[in-house]
Amino acid sequence: MTNERKMNSNSKQEQLEQFRVNDQGKKMTTNQGLKVSEDEFSLKAGERGPTLMEDFHFREKMTHFDHERIPERIVHARGFAAHGEFQVYESMKEFTKAKFLQDPTVKTPVFVRFSTVAGSRGSAETVRDVRGFSTKFYTEEGNYDLVGNNIPVFFIQDAIKFPDLIHAVKPEPHNEMPQAASAHDTFWDFVANNQESAHMIMWHLSDRAIPRSFRMMEGFGVHTFRFVNDQGKAHFVKLHWKPVLGVHSLVWDEAQKIAGKDPDFHRRDLWESIEMGNFPEYELGVQLLAEEDEFKFDFDILDPTKIWPEEDVPVKIIGKMTLNRNVDNVFAETEQVAFHPGHVVPGIDFSNDPLLQGRLFSYTDTQLIRLGGPNFHELPINRPVCPFHNNQRDGYSRQTINVGQVSYHNNSLAANTPSPATEAEGGYVHYQEKIDGRKVRARSESFKDHFSQATMFWNSMSQPEKEHIIQAFNFELGKVKSKLVQQQVVDMFANVNLELARTVAVAIGAVPPNAGGSDITKSSPAVSQENTKKLPNTRKVGIIIGDDFNGAEVMTILAALQAEGVQPEIVSEKLGKLKALDGTELEVNHTFLTVDPVLFDAIYAVGGTAESKKFYKDAAYFIHEAFNHYKPIGATHEGKQWLEMEKMTNSPGVVVGEDVNEFVSAFVEAIAAHRHWSRQIV
Ligand code: HDD
């Protein structure tokens, strides 16, 4: 097949092209290529008689349909993916010999799948959850998978506890409720009885767990890995994806409403952005640590419940990934892609993080059941773009026709080939870390501080972020039925912050803890979303407008917003064209019925002179919802009166304009700010 080729940025697409089939305009055939003459009626013994066994077309069609489903992923079942490319800014030769990190002129093809963890394949996308962020780099040395999340730490420290964690968070087994939610007894029972989860829970209850967009999330490799250079020298490394658009989130009320209004909100956002040419971009960052500095911290760098604060170990930005092509077929690509943290290339190696070590087993194992056998590497999306040769043979659905007599090593009949490569030839050599220990089932003492970084996270939050965390606790624990579990959780989080635990306890009717508290005062400003990049680009603004608007002015404003990268979408009473007083026409994109304010980043109220009571009522709903979700609201013309009637005109993030230029620049600034937390909610 295709794998004897030299890599370039199009290598993966060229390879996939051979598997793409376009059925449009073709005659229908069976899978054997036989032309089909009739596809609506099964073969019967008489028009009103029974269907005949002989009907091979019916049998083939029905059998294939009956077998269309494969098991969904045990976790991360709900996901969406896109193709793209990665380019390093400068050679990383000093730290790693990984070829795709050497040459700034080389573009490496990538495939990225984003996901939620707990929900089923059809669940809503804006639920409170960790998001998966998996990247497959198709390098000339083989596939490298960075299988990360949008949160830099994890719930547990040892992979042997992963089945317990997932059993606890998934819908409860006796009634299969709730779907795609952690707000239930078994999850919080797990948390209270596995206190290593404390730091992760703080992130999970923060705005990070309800991202605005896959395009506005960070990604983290979580574990400590190793970079190894061509001299054999190693550095510990943590990997980060930093979104060019900054890190932004929804608010919880909005997230829940979107789950009903548009359960596909995140995939639609990704899909549409790529279709429009607004390619999502992420910079790759590394935190590097010399091996001799391994023990210089007050936490263990192998512990996946800890971050390396960016203020202590700066993130060095080394390259950029651009997602520039949607998939052709979700099943063939997004569903069949198989990621594995053990897919590495020379120059990238593991650490002894016990969570990572267990993952190195689990991923191949799960593909065997999910993708039905050991040949999943042959599926088009999983094939490396470089050649692959070994003596592995046969198995269900083997595609490759391996020619020749020999399929073993060592041999003389094939000159002892395929032969292992030396390190100089690119053979993967595991880093020769010296290990000296007894076999024990135990956890290192150095993993036992579960609260200091949880407190550091809390200390790092802005006031609105803290309030969101408290509300999230109140929601999640408010849904828990067991008083025992509720009490254990508030008692546990007293170790993070006593005030936090007491506030939550009061809200959920538990006994406010007196003991606990933390003397940690350290904070890490880098983890607060308040300090992220704020840009207006690709923000969706709902334009509430009716007939008889001021054509020239409104068109100027819309064009000026677009010039700033903002995406206006016209919302009115009915579809079709609106007519301005000067005869200008404007195509309506959505009606009040087909869209909802939660689906926009901002609202611009224009109105029109001929609006009915019903129109005003609908517009008022849009304005109120946007206001209560702290979103920017702009108003000109008749829209200004609506805001005055609602007494919103002097609120933060509400921009009312007379002068077109002044209005646009103030509104764009308000949009870039994302949310206006100091607003008093009505
Ligand atoms: Fe995992 C899928 C990320 C811990 C076992 N995991 C999966 C995916 C992501 C992660 C992004 C979806 C891949 C895709 O899009 O197809 N997992 C993580 C991170 C972890 C983590 C960042 C901790 C740092 N995972 C983890 C542990 C285990 C697993 C400890 C088991 C020992 N994960 C799996 C799995 C999945 C998976 C069962 C389900 C589907 C798959 O692998 O391909 O093997």
Q: Which residues does a 6 A CB cutoff place in the pocket of ligand 1?
A: 73-76, 79, 113, 115, 132, 134, 147-149, 154, 159, 162, 222-223, 304, 337-339, 355, 358-359, 362-363, 366
Region 468-488 average pLDDT: 98
Give residue 603's identity as a one-letter amino acid code. I
Per-position b or e across 184-220, b if 16+ CB within 10 A of its CB: bbbbbbbbbebbbbbbbbbbbbbbbbbbbbbbbbbbb
CA 140/CA 202 separation, integer angstroms: 40
Q: What ipTM is given for this predicted complex?
A: 0.98
Whether residue 15 is predicted with pLDDT greater than 80 in this model: the reply is: yes
CA 587/CA 578 separation, integer angstroms: 6
Q: What is the pLDDT of residues 275-287, one digit of tens each?
A: 999 999 999 999 9
**How far does residue 75's CA lie from ligand 1's centre (Å)?**
7
User: Which pLDDT score is estimated for 7?
Assistant: 64
**How far does residue 246's CA lie from ligand 1's centre (Å)?**
25
Looking at 223-332, which runs of residues are DSSP E strands? 225-228, 234-243, 281-290, 316-326
Q: What is the CATH number of domain 79-378?
A: 2.40.180.10
Per-position b or e across 272-299, b if 16+ CB within 10 A of its CB: ebbeeeebbbbbbbbbbbeeeeeeebeb
Average pLDDT of the chain to the nearest whole number: 96
Indicate the pLDDT class of residue 29, thresholds 50, 70 and 90.
very high
**Residue whose CA is at the smallest distance from ligand 1 atom 9:** 132
**Residue whose CA is at the smallest distance from ligand 1 atom 40:** 73
Region 227-240 average pLDDT: 98
19 is an annotated ligand-binding site residue: no
DSSP per-residue codes, 344-410: --TTEE----HHHHHHHHHHHHHHHHHTTSTTGGGSTTT--SS----S----TT------SS--SSS
CA 651/CA 680 separation, integer angstroms: 8
User: Which pLDDT score is estimated for 658?
Assistant: 87
Q: Long-range pairs for 171-179 at CB < 8 Å and ≥24 separation?
A: 178/479, 179/119, 179/120, 179/123
**How far does residue 390's CA lie from ligand 1's centre (Å)?**
27
Whether residue 139 is predicted with pLDDT greater than 70 in this model: the reply is: yes
According to DSSP, the residues that pair with 242 across neighbouring strands are 283
Spatial CA neighbour of 245 closest among 279, 268, 195, 196: 279
User: Which pLDDT score is estimated for 682?
Assistant: 64
> Do the Cβ atoms of 539 and 601 come closer than 8 Å?
yes
Looking at 100-233, which runs of residues are DSSP E strands? 107-116, 131-139, 142-149, 219-220, 225-228
162 is an annotated ligand-binding site residue: yes
Q: Which residue has the tokens 């990238």?
A: 348
Rounded to the nearest 5°, which phi and psi values hold at 476?
A: -60, -50
What SS3 class is residue 627? helix
359 is an annotated ligand-binding site residue: yes
According to DSSP, the residues that pair with 136 across neighbouring strands are 111, 145
Q: Is 416 a catalytic residue?
A: no
How many helices, marked H, and strands, marked E, lie in the chain?
16, 18
> Do the Cβ atoms of 280 and 323 come closer than 8 Å?
yes
Q: Ligand 1, from 154, 363, 371: best to mutate by most atoms within 8 Å of Cβ?
A: 363
User: Which pLDDT score is estimated for 1?
Assistant: 39
CATH superfamily, with its number, for domain 534-672: Class I glutamine amidotransferase (GATase) domain (3.40.50.880)
Q: Which residue has the tokens 């190195």?
A: 360
675 is an annotated ligand-binding site residue: no
How big is the CA angle at 342 (ends 102 and 299), to the nearest 5 degrees? Answer: 85
> Do the Cβ atoms of 221 and 200 come closer than 8 Å?
no
**Residue whose CA is at the smallest distance from ligand 1 atom 3:** 148
Q: Where are the domains of the chain?
A: 79-378, 451-524, 534-672
Whether residue 2 is predicted with pLDDT greater than 60 in this model: the reply is: no
**Residue whose CA is at the smallest distance from ligand 1 atom 42:** 363
Whether residue 625 is predicted with pLDDT greater than 50 in this model: the reply is: yes
Domain 451-524 has CATH 1.20.1370.20: yes
Indicate the pLDDT class of residue 610, thresholds 50, 70 and 90.
confident
User: Which pLDDT score is estimated for 3?
Assistant: 40
Sign of CA dihedral 540, 545, 548, 554: negative
Q: What is the pLDDT of residues 489-501, one digit of tens each?
A: 999 999 999 999 9
Whether residue 417 is predicted with pLDDT greater than 90 in this model: the reply is: yes
**How far does residue 363's CA lie from ligand 1's centre (Å)?**
7
**Residue whose CA is at the smallest distance from ligand 1 atom 12:** 76
Whether residue 230 is predicted with pLDDT greater than 50 in this model: the reply is: yes
Q: What is the pLDDT of residues 286-343, one digit of tens each?
A: 999 999 999 999 999 999 999 999 999 999 999 999 999 999 999 999 999 999 999 9
User: Which pLDDT score is estimated for 391?
Assistant: 98
The catalytic position among 149, 150, 375, 459 is: 149
Whether residue 611 is predicted with pLDDT greater than 80 in this model: the reply is: no
Whether residue 653 is predicted with pLDDT greater than 80 in this model: the reply is: yes
How many other C-beta atoms are found inside a 10 Å radius of the C-beta of residue 13?
A: 15
Q: Which residue has the higher pLDDT, 598 or 680?
A: 598
267 is an annotated ligand-binding site residue: no
Whether residue 657 is predicted with pLDDT greater than 90 in this model: the reply is: no
> Do the Cβ atoms of 486 and 554 come closer than 8 Å?
no
User: Which pLDDT score is estimated for 9?
Assistant: 82
CA 649/CA 670 separation, integer angstroms: 14
Whether residue 4 is predicted with pLDDT greater than 50 in this model: the reply is: no
User: Which pLDDT score is estimated for 448?
Assistant: 97
Please state whether beta strands 590-591 and 234-243 pair in parallel, antiparallel, or not at all (unpaired).
Answer: unpaired
How many other C-beta atoms are found inside a 10 Å radius of the C-beta of residue 399?
A: 11
Burial class (CB in 10 A: 0-12, 13-18, 19+), 482: middle
Region 662-679 average pLDDT: 97
Q: Is 149 a catalytic residue?
A: yes
How many other C-beta atoms are found inside a 10 Å radius of the C-beta of residue 398?
A: 14
Do the domains at 451-524 and 534-672 have one common CATH topology?
A: no
Whether residue 466 is predicted with pLDDT greater than 50 in this model: the reply is: yes
User: Which pLDDT score is estimated for 8?
Assistant: 77
How many other C-beta atoms are found inside a 10 Å radius of the C-beta of residue 615?
A: 19
Whether residue 680 is predicted with pLDDT greater than 90 in this model: the reply is: no
Ligand 1 atom with least separation from CA of 365 = 44
> Do the Cβ atoms of 76 and 117 come closer than 8 Å?
yes
